[in-house]
Chain A
Amino acid sequence: MILVLVDHDRGVLDATSVQALTAARALDSDVEVLLVGAAGRDAVAELATYGADTIHLAVHDTLTDYAPLASAKAALELVSSRSPRGIFTTGTPRGNEVLAHIAAILDAPMAAEVLSVTFGDAGVHEVVRNRWGGNLTETARVHNDLLLAAFAPHAIRAENATGAGNVTEFTPNLDAADTAVRVIDRTGGAATGVGLAEARVIVSGGRGVGGPEGFDVIEQLADLLSGAVGCSRVVTSNGWRPHSEQVGQTGTKVAPDLYIACGISGATQHIAGCRTSKTIIAINTDKDAPIMGYAHYAVIGDAQTILPELVAATRAAKE
């Protein structure tokens, strides 16, 4: 059996976290899912549409919001009672975090950024995983009976299937320390527009945009396409844009349907943060810039002259 940790935020299913369920179902007919917190009940119906048959719901008075260590402790109870051969998550911030707590408590190896898994005998499994945000892949052996694997987000497309959605509730044994680190408040949100990580379209600017005022047209294009604004590291270092907009391996990793890189040459760490976008368009003066090796389409030219025309033409096409 493979145990999959699926995440929800106050009852709203995290669609990215379901990708690990699709990965598990491709490997094993026996897959069980863990949801943590009573609000997880609201996510059950949707979860069943991704083929979840058996869902364990961890319910506890103290599980009022996301608490990583408590989620790990709940999963560990299922490790004891259900004896899975693997625990899978999608490598979202929460997915990686909960799995790493499990790995630390068990003193077991964990593989992150996983693309594929081959279960082996005698406690040695093989994984293929991303390095440098997918610029390289690594084949690695994991030396432990229980395989802990966090799949690279968007490496697998979540597939619909009819699941029974049977829920079994249990109350994990938790103490105060297990929920000491938990979400205590939230700031920002819908008012700030489309978030970078969930945007379908991202219009991103780099050094070639020329300066902070160059982002006016980028904002306009993003608005027209109902998208978000992104930028490269040099842009935040220069103070042109807030660092919350920085796309990159160590900033925000994104995988929108369309990524438009304007005046971005494509440093390794930037590419690592956007390479799994479905379509990448590069607008750049340099036809040999590294970004050209990753873009599907390119326009050779100055983003500062092309963007205003593109905004006008896009606006006209919408009318």
Chain B
Amino acid sequence: MNIAVCAKRVPLSGGRWELTADNLDIDTSGASVGFTTSPHEECAAEAAVQLVEQLGGSSTVITLGVADSEEQVRSLLAVGVDRGVIIETDGSEWDPQATASALTEQIKAGSPEGAYDLVLLGTEAADTADFQVGIRMAHALGWPVVTNVKGMTIDGGVARCERAVGSAREVYEVTLPAVITVKDGLNIPRYPSVPGRIKARKKPVDTVIIEKPAARLEKVRLDLAVEEARSAEILGTGVDAVPALVEIFKNIGVL
């Protein structure tokens, strides 16, 4: 089975976000800002590696982002994904339609081992939260899609998918080829081993450059959320604060 994992490099802040002077982007120059893969897309990569271990085949991570996205791609290769493809951008954002269309072209092109049977990606990107790229890809490919998946098994070309609804789970079944979009908690991604990291350096990562279409969901500006300024009322220190906590439980009607 040939599996594509679409994963996105997203900024990660250890503190408050800062914006660039034109209010169009997150200021990533500060020491407290780094980059990571969307956490649930680490789960998607883990699922792909497990499925290939189980059923054979190949796994490819595809990302749309700046050249530096290679850092995130290599980290997924280090946990066992076979190769990477970077659709390289100049750092400006692609809207969800443009993103889906660029990723779809890579799926249609297939892997060196043959056509893809399964595309795994996050239900939404952790930063832009558009909730649509996987579904758009499925329509462009003519494949079925299940979203918000927190549990998945594949048997005989059929994926059985579970998604959490309250305290229960809904079960869906879908015949491959299919697109499955996942949530964090699908599995617990393994940490890359040292041999894994060394192997990852030698795995192939291709770069593709295509023209960026005009945005139809066009970012005008970003702002820091207003509530950022909130600061907690300190009720006390240690167990001395317990009566004040119980008082709050009473006041807000949960006791």
Contacts and interface: CB of A to CB of B under 8 A. Distances in A.
A309 B238 CA distance: 10
Contact of B127 (A112, A131, A183, A233): A131
Interface string B2-17: 0000000000111111
A250 B183 contact: yes
A292 B126 contact: no
Contacts of A313: 242-243, 245-246
A207 interface: no
A243 B188 contact: yes
Interface string B174-188: 110000000111111
A67 to B, nearest CB: 9
A11 interface: no
Contact of B168 (A66, A135, A188): A188
B3 to A, nearest CB: 19
B21 interface: no
A194 interface: yes
A132 B246 contact: no
Contact of B131 (A107, A150, A177): A150
A299 B255 contact: no
A217 B215 CA distance: 51
A268 interface: yes
A234 to B, nearest CB: 11
A136 to B, nearest CB: 5
Given A243-B185, A295-B232, A306-B239, A189 B167 contact: yes
Contacts of A177: 144
A300 interface: yes
Interface in A138-189: 138-144, 150, 177, 180-189
Nearest to B24: A138
A120 interface: no
A91 interface: yes
A136 B147 CA distance: 25
A104 B138 contact: yes
A9 B171 CA distance: 14
Contact of B254 (A144, A184, A200, A268): A200
A246 B250 contact: no
B236 A142 contact: no
B234 interface: yes
A113 interface: yes
A144 B39 CA distance: 32
A135 B17 contact: yes
Given A250-B38, A275-B227, A314-B255, A196 B167 contact: yes
Interface string B220-255: 111111011011111111110111111011101111
A251 B184 contact: yes
A248 B122 CA distance: 14
Contacts of B124: 96, 112, 250
A309 B242 contact: yes
A248 B243 CA distance: 29
A181 B144 contact: yes
B172 to A, nearest CB: 6
Given A109-B217, A138-B221, A246-B185, A299 B245 contact: yes
Contacts of A305: 238-239
Nearest to B134: A100
A200 B145 CA distance: 32
Contacts of B26: 136
A184 B245 contact: no
A133 interface: yes
B174 A181 contact: yes
A187 B185 contact: no
A258 B254 CA distance: 8
Interface stretch (A18-26, A73-81, A279-287): A279-287
A250 B126 contact: yes
Nearest to A187: B169
Contact of B233 (A133, A189, A251, A298): A298
Given A93-B148, A188-B169, A298-B235, A134 B242 contact: no
A75 B211 CA distance: 33
Contacts of B216: 108-109, 142-144
Contacts of B22: none
Interface of A: 9, 66, 68, 91, 93, 96-97, 99-101, 103-105, 107-113, 126, 129-144, 150, 177, 180-190, 192-198, 200-201, 224-228, 233, 236-237, 239, 243-244, 246, 248-252, 257-258, 268-269, 275, 278-279, 281-282, 287, 290, 292-302, 305-306, 309-310, 313-314, 317-318
Interface of B: 12-17, 19, 26, 38-40, 95-97, 122-124, 126-132, 135-136, 138-140, 144-148, 150, 162-175, 183-188, 215-225, 227-228, 230-239, 241-246, 248-250, 252-255
Given A268-B13, A297-B235, 19 more contacts: A96-B131, A100-B136, A101-B139, A139-B220, A139-B222, A140-B219, A141-B220, A143-B217, A143-B218, A186-B170, A195-B167, A195-B168, A250-B126, A257-B252, A258-B249, A299-B237, A313-B245, A314-B255, A317-B249
